[in-house]
Amino acid sequence: MNLTLYVWRQKNADDKGRLEKYEAKDINHHMSFLEMLDVVNEDLIEQGIDPIAFDHDCREGICGTCSLIINGRAHGPELATTVCQLHMRHFKDGDRIYIEPWRARAFPVLKDLVVDRSALDRIMQAGGFVSVNTGGAPDANALPIPKKNADTAFDAAACIGCGACVASCPNASAMLFVSAKVSQFAYLPQGQVERKARVDRMVKQMDMEGFGNCTNHYECEAACPKEIKVKFIAKMNREYMRAVVAK
């Protein structure tokens, strides 16, 4: 099939950026979306045009590196799917496809479709851990954890940190991301000691990074490739209230 792409091109963080039009020819429907871009890039290189820069790594939907807005939707039209797992059979000959980077104040564009998501790392550094040094751990079975709690903690822990939630939110809120980590630890006994300090510090850092707040659009849940639920945001809000009221 043949497609027309409108791709965000931006030389660096200082450049203003613009959409450029490219033709993607003879695209096989078995290709992944990123393989389609590979083919387009090979073609651009042949023409002497700088290929389109985009982030990607594992290409199996787990590392959270790929990050494209396709026709206005983070990770494209398929539910519970990262861009690297989106295949061209979901498009048809003659389609026009708009490809843009994650857009959020806290995610500055570095080049073309590549953005800087280090704000998410800084939130984790502020409190997204259990303070246990190597070597100081009790036997793994010393502390039974009800299966229900372990499973719920896992549902939250499945977050791959891609930032699609931020990119989809009209407020560019990172609350789904932060709440996933806060909830994972809140449901586990290992997380109890630092429970209040953790949510307090992570929320502070989240605000400092320039992410917005949640106003219940649920766009994040719809975009999340790992189907993290907004119930975790409610959980985080409760955790946060516990922490600040207690202060």
Residues in 55-94 at the binding interface with other proteins, rule: CB under 8 A? 55-65, 78, 81, 85, 87, 89
Token couple for 36: 């389609």
Identify residues 178-207 at the interface with other proteins (CB under 8 A).
Answer: 184-185, 188, 190-191
Do 120 and 163 meet the contact criterion of CB atoms below 8 Å apart? Answer: yes
Residue 147 CB, shortest distance to other proteins, in Å, is 5
Instruction: Among 2, 4, 19, 150, indicate the residue that binds other proteins (CB under 8 A).
Output: 150
Nearest-10 Cα torsion for 32, 35, 37, 42:
-160
* Type and span of the H or E element at 236: helix 231-246
Residue 78 or residue 221: which is nearer to other proteins going by CB?
A: 78
- Taking CB under 8 A as the criterion, which residues in 12-31 touch other proteins? 12, 28-31
**Binds other proteins (CB under 8 A): choice among 2, 4, 131, 213:** 131
Q: By rule CB under 8 A, what string of x and - marks binding of each residue 89-128 to other proteins?
A: x--------------------xx--x-xxx-xx--xxxxx
Report the DSSP pairing between strands 73-74 and 69-70. antiparallel
Q: Does 154 bind other proteins (CB under 8 A)?
A: yes
96, 6 contact by CB (below 8 A)? yes
Residue 39 identity (one-letter amino acid)? V
Question: Is 2:94 a contact under the CB 8 Å cutoff?
Answer: yes
Residue 2 lies near other proteins (rule: CB under 8 A): no
Q: How far is the CB of 205 from other proteins (least distance, A)?
A: 9
- Tell me the C-alpha distance between 31 and 81, whole Å: 15
* Pair 11, 111: CB distance under 8 Å: yes
Q: How far is the CB of 216 from other proteins (least distance, A)?
A: 27
